[in-house]
Amino acid sequence: MADYEIIAVREGTGNGRTHHIAAVKVGESLFLADQIVDWINAGTHRFWVWFQNEQIDVIAREQGSSRRYYLTIKSGAFPPVALLSLPRF
């Protein structure tokens, strides 16, 4: 398993109340969020972000009603929007 830092995000269309990350930037490469979800769920790669000078794991979580997976950060002392605080591309 390799570890990768997510350095930027691209938001997709949302409904105004929620945010949807459509893609992420890792180094100079761009990946669709669905590909990152697949790698996380398979245990192929680990992804993380820097937030408030700490390294936080990115995880895939299943949304209740749609059963679609989305990217968020591991629970802890940081708000779930930490991933959305990254630069946009």
Structure tokens at 12: 């997709």
Q: Does residue 83 come out as left (phi exceeding 0), alpha (psi in the -120 to 50 range) or beta? A: alpha
pLDDT of 15 reads 60
pLDDT of 36 reads 97
pTM metric for this prediction: 0.88
Q: Of 6, 70, 86, 13, whose CA–CA distance to 38 is shortest?
A: 70
pLDDT of 14 reads 64
CA distance 61 to 39: 13
- Residue 23 is classified by DSSP as E
Q: Give the pLDDT band (50/70/90) at residue 1.
A: confident
- Please write the tens of the pLDDT for every residue from 44-80: 999 999 988 899 999 999 988 889 999 999 977 788 7
Q: Of 30, 73, 23, whose CA–CA distance to 49 is shortest?
A: 73
Q: Is 2 helix (H, G, I), strand (E, B) or coil?
A: strand
pLDDT of 80 reads 73
Q: Please, what is the average pLDDT of the chain?
A: 90
For residue 77, the Cα-to-chain-centroid distance in whole angstroms is: 17
